[in-house]
Structure 1
Amino acid sequence: MDALADALIRWFSLPEAGLSTIFVVAFVSATLLPMGSEPVVFGFVKLNPDQFWVAVAVATAGNTLGGVLDYWLGYGAHEAVAKGKRTRYLGWFERLGPKALFFSWLPAVGDPLCAVAGWLKLPFWRSVFWMALGKALRYAIMTAILMGVPDAWWRALGGLVR
């Protein structure tokens, strides 16, 4: 068991597999498993500040695809289970539609939002758009704050706006 743990730690170590690690951790953290991906993104960007936007893009892609998995799990659950009692929260979610998935980045409620969107059969591509937008903003803002605003932004933008 220790050999397996050592092998996994070596495989996921940032210097050797940085962007793939970010993708996998962001994907897994978007599922219903309790995990956060921000420390991995921050660690990578701290070591490679010139790759700020690449890391944000990779984390957003992985996290969005994890949200898409949640969406399809909810969709499949809807197909497998007869409709139950409607709550006011489901009514709110239906009225707001895919825009509610902008909040899929929130801890504790974000991942279930994606599953509920699938359950309600909200339009898939609009749902993915709102998921990706919220998640991208979260990664960009959180990482920039951890890196120290505004220096991280200037480096990421290559000094174009100074």
Structure 2
Amino acid sequence: MTGLAAYGGLFLSALVAATVLPAQSEFLLAALLRSGDWSTSGLLVSASVGNVLGSVINYGLGRGAEAFRDRRWFPASAAALARAQRWYGRYGHWSLLLSWMPIIGDPITVAAGLLREPIWRFLLLVTIAKVGRYLVLMIAVLGIN
């Protein structure tokens, strides 16, 4: 496998995993880490940038949701958006620190766009959450003390 395939594949996997589409990037990251063939910092950057960019896509969906939320093809159900809006309304921008979590993380990032969270704060909090999650995963896989 070439570097482009490894880092690019991880980037794409992380990007898709952060959108409302069902996907996982953790298994690929763990496999690449265990192989020992790739730079851990390169893997961290590839996964983190992809995952944050995927959340930015969700944010954009939220920003445009008012115009399209009732369309059949819209990727988030009305019920999921309503739950995310309630959660976001209750906990505010700090809920973006949970954007790394399965099931609830993606709708929270959509709700942030829907509720017009400033992009700078969105990027800051989502980046902290996503990088932190991948760092914890890397420590668990590599057994770093």
Q: Considering the TM-score relative to the shorter chain, is it more than 0.5?
A: yes
The aligned amino acid for 1:139 is Y
Q: CA deviation at 1:90?
A: 3.4
2:8 matched to which residue of 1? Answer: 20
Classify 1:21/1:122 alpha carbon distance in 2 versus 1 (closer, same or farther; 3 Å): same
Ranges in structure 2 where 5+ consecutive residues have no aligned partner: 71-77
Q: Which of the pair has more CA radius of gyration?
A: 1
Confirm or deny that 1:68 pairs with 2:61: no
Residue number in structure 2 paired with 1:140: 135
Q: Indicate the percent of aligned positions where both proteins have the same amino acid.
A: 31
Residue 109 (str. 1) matches residue 104 (str. 2): yes
Match of 1:77 among 37, 46, 65: 65
The CA distance in 2 between the partners of 1:92 and 1:73, in whole Å, is 18
Contact 1:98-1:122 within 8 A present in 2 as well = yes
Contact 2:15–2:50 (CA under 8 A) maintained in structure 1: yes
The question of whether the paired residues in 1 share the 8 Å contact of 2:84 and 2:108 is answered with no
Q: How many residues align?
A: 137
1:42 pairs with 11, 17, 30, which one? 30
Shift of 1:44: 1.3
Q: Does 1:120 align with 2:115?
A: yes
Moved over 6 A (4+): none
Change (3 A) 1:63 1:72: same
Partners of 2:104 and 2:26 lie apart in 1 by 17
Unaligned runs of 5+ in 1: 1-12, 151-162
Residues 1:91 and 1:35: Cα distance change in structure 2 (over 3 Å): closer
